[in-house]
């Protein structure tokens, strides 16, 4: 599939979807964190792999649906996924990417035009940013949005179920809440299994291998008040840890917290 320049709407066109406007901004090199951007629209994590590894990774996602819920997948070499956005271009529409070689992150480009290959398969995985809209609609505070930074994410001691070369720890994202708020957050996010669903852990970060809550492995630290507990959700950054552990010769992901914004609606992902 190709998308001609003629169908590209300009940034100022009336009626432009907020999700499409965001993608056009990122395509033009404008913008940074996608937290709180295009509210109401689904955001996705990226894992882009050579076709020879796609089957094993697909099974990895099936075996680990909490951190890796698939919401879109491309044909080999095709940078477009029309089901997620008519003009969406995987190569340009994310604020920042990560290029991996032999398990090491070697570059963080703002587009993939110099790295794209005919054998690449794109997986788009559900992102917890999608359920944040429902949390905020219920009056729950989202600390990283309040602080204007990226959500904190941590590598844990929770092992994923392996598939082929893919194995490693689950990564979680954290949001602090007062205990009553945490209970409500569990109730709300349970309705969204396509974007990680209910939390995997509440409180006591050391029990899942997190030594210092103030030093996330990805994203930015946020304040946790004395009367709050950290609440942890499975995170779509997990594939980055798994890809690094697999030491694939080549792979691409998004930079943590800088997501792909789709034209899907968050409300359409709710199961209740």
CA atoms within 13 A on the CB side of 8: 13
* 111 SS3 class: coil
Q: Which two tokens stand for residue 154?
A: 């941590």
- What CA–CA distance (Å, rounded) separates 201 from 193? 16
> Rounded to whole angstroms, how far apart are CA atoms 43 and 49?
20
pLDDT given at position 31: 74
Report if residue 37 sits inside a domain.
Answer: no
pLDDT score at 157:
96
Residue 104 covered by a domain: yes
Q: Are 89 and 3 in contact (CB under 8 A)?
A: yes
Average pLDDT over residues 55-72: 95
**pLDDT tens across 76-131, in order?**
999 999 999 989 999 999 999 999 999 999 999 999 999 999 999 999 999 888 88
* Range of weakest confidence among 8-17, 53-62, 64-73, 82-91: 8-17
pLDDT over 90, % of the chain: 75
Classify residue 11: in a domain, yes or no: no
Residue 164 covered by a domain: yes
pLDDT tens for residues 31-48?
Answer: 777 877 898 999 999 999
The label of the residue with tokens 């590209």 reads 8
| Cβ neighbours, 10 Å, residue 271 | 9
* Mean pLDDT score, 240-257: 91
What band does 8 get if pLDDT is binned at 50, 70 and 90? very low
Domain of residue 70, residue span: 18-24+42-126+243-266
**Residues 118, 163 within the same domain:** no
Higher-pLDDT residue of 30, 204:
204
Percent of the chain exceeding pLDDT 70 equals 94
Report if residue 4 sits inside a domain: no
pLDDT on residue 15: 64
Sorting pLDDT into bands at 50, 70 and 90, what band is 6? very low
0.75 exceeded by the pTM?
Answer: yes
Q: Is there a single domain that holds both residue 152 and residue 166?
A: yes
- Whether 86 and 216 share a structural domain: no
Each residue of 173-212: pLDDT tens digit?
Answer: 999 999 999 999 999 999 999 889 999 999 999 999 999 9
Co-location of 160 and 254 in the same domain: no
Same domain, 178 and 86: no
- Contacts of residue 15, defined as CB under 8 A and 6 or more positions apart, other chains included, come to none
Those residues with Cβ within 8 angstroms of residue 110's Cβ, 6 or more apart along the chain or in another chain:
26, 29, 95, 96, 97
CATH number of the domain encompassing residue 100: 3.40.1640.10
Tally of domains in the chain: 2
Helix (H, G, I), strand (E, B), or coil: what is residue 159? strand
203 in any annotated domain: yes
CA dihedral 189, 192, 196, 197 (to 10 degrees): 50
Per the prediction, the chain carries an average pLDDT of 90
pLDDT of amino acid 10: 38
Q: For strands 169-177 and 70-73, give the pairing.
A: unpaired
Domain shared by 232 and 253, yes or no: no
Least confident range of 166-170, 172-176, 255-259: 255-259
Give the count of beta carbons closer than 10 Å to the beta carbon of residue 106.
10
219 within domain boundaries: yes
- Taking only Cα atoms into account, the Rg of the chain, rounded to an integer number of angstroms, comes to 18
Residues 231 and 150 in one domain: yes
Whether 180 maps to a domain, the answer reads: yes
Task: Answer yes or no: do 135 and 186 share one domain.
Answer: yes
How far is it, in rounded angstroms, from Cα 262 to Cα 26? Answer: 13
| Phi, psi of 41, rounded to the nearest 5 degrees | -110, 145
Q: Which residue has the higher pLDDT, 176 or 236?
A: 176
């Amino acid at each position: 599939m190709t998308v001609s320049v003629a169908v590209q709407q300009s940034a100022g066109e009336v009626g432009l979807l907020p999700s499409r406007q965001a993608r056009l901004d990122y395509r033009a090199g404008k913008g940074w964190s996608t937290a709180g951007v295009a509210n109401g629209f689904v955001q996705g994590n990226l894992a882009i792999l050579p076709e020879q590894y796609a089957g094993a990774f697909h099974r990895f996602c099936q075996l680990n649906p909490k951190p890796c819920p698939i919401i879109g997948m491309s044909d080999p070499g095709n940078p477009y996924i029309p089901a997620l956005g008519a003009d969406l271009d995987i190569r340009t529409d994310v604020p920042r990417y990560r290029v991996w070689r032999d398990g090491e992150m070697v570059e963080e480009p703002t587009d993939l035009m110099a790295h794209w290959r005919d054998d690449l398969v794109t997986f788009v995985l559900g992102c917890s940013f999608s359920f944040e809209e429902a949390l905020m609609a219920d009056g729950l505070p989202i600390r990283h949005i309040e602080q204007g930074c990226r959500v904190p994410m941590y590598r844990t001691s929770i092992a994923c179920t392996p598939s082929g070369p893919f194995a490693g720890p689950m990564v979680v994202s954290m949001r602090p809440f007062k205990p009553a708020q945490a209970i409500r957050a569990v109730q709300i996010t349970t309705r969204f299994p396509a974007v990680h669903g209910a939390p995997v852990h509440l409180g006591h970060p050391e029990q899942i291998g997190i030594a210092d809550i103030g030093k996330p492995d990805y994203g930015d630290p946020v304040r946790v008040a004395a009367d709050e507990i950290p609440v942890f959700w499975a995170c779509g950054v997990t594939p980055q840890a798994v890809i690094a552990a697999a030491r694939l010769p080549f792979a691409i992901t998004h930079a943590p917290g800088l997501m792909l914004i789709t034209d899907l609606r968050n409300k359409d992902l709710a199961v209740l």
